Amino acid sequence: MMHSKNVVRFGLAIMLALFLTLPNLACAYDDSAMAALKPIPEGKAFFDMNTTLMSNEMFPMVLMGIVQTHESLVEQGIKPDFVVSFRGANVVWLTEGTSDTVKGLIDQLDNLGVQIDLCRIPLEWFGVNPATVLPQIKIIDNGWISSMSYQSRSKGYAVISF
């Protein structure tokens, strides 16, 4: 049962990555989805990175999808306001020992002004020393409370879960 859930999650993540990257590969494509955003001045998204451990191939793909989404909004004249919040096993990818690819993508997100949070609780669960967490990442006390706050009507962030 657990294996099939992981397969489904992996499949969904692959589909999302393809969804985010295929339009950039085409010479011409229908941008009607982006046109639907035109009336809003700001694209507020809370990326809830709460899944089981992603592979070392999949994790950077998801981060790249977030970068590309940010770039797509900017191209449409919409100001992105993104928060990427990590909970769960993926905290292991966010330390000084991670790949140069992940470090580069975290740098890119940080340079774009994306807020990157990491829940303290899984650091304890997975034995990750907080001192080894990449410096661009803010360790917060509780990711669930943060998630509730960003989803509230007053803040109005769209939640995108992985």
What pLDDT is attached to residue 130?
Answer: 95
Residue 157's domain is classified under what CATH number? 3.40.1260.10
pLDDT at 74: 93
Domain of residue 108: give its range: 2-161
CB neighbourhood size of 154 (10 A): 5
Closest C-alpha to 141, from 121, 124, 116: 121
- pLDDT digits (tens), the chain, 162 positions: 555 565 555 554 554 454 444 444 444 445 555 555 566 778 899 999 886 777 888 899 999 999 999 999 999 889 999 999 998 888 889 999 999 999 999 999 999 999 999 999 999 999 999 999 999 999 999 988 888 888 876 678 888 887
Q: What pairing do the DSSP bridges indicate for beta strands 158-161 and 42-49?
A: parallel
From the number of C-beta atoms within 10 Å of its C-beta (0-12, 13-18, 19+), residue 135 rates as exposed
Number of domains in the chain: 1
| Angle, in degrees to the nearest 10, between helices 58-75 and 100-111 | 20
Q: What is the pTM of this model?
A: 0.73
Is the distance from CB of 157 to CB of 83 less than 8 angstroms? Answer: yes
Give me the residue label for tokens 């303290």. Answer: 120
Rounded to whole angstroms, the Cα distance separating 96 from 73 reads 30
Rounded Cα gap, residues 140 and 38, in angstroms = 33
DSSP per position, 66-103: HHHHHHHHHHTT-EEEEEEEE-GGGGGGSBTTS-HHHH
Measure Cα distances from 19 to 1, 22, 25, 118 in Å: 27, 6, 11, 26
Q: Are strands 42-49 and 79-86 parallel, antiparallel or unpaired?
A: parallel
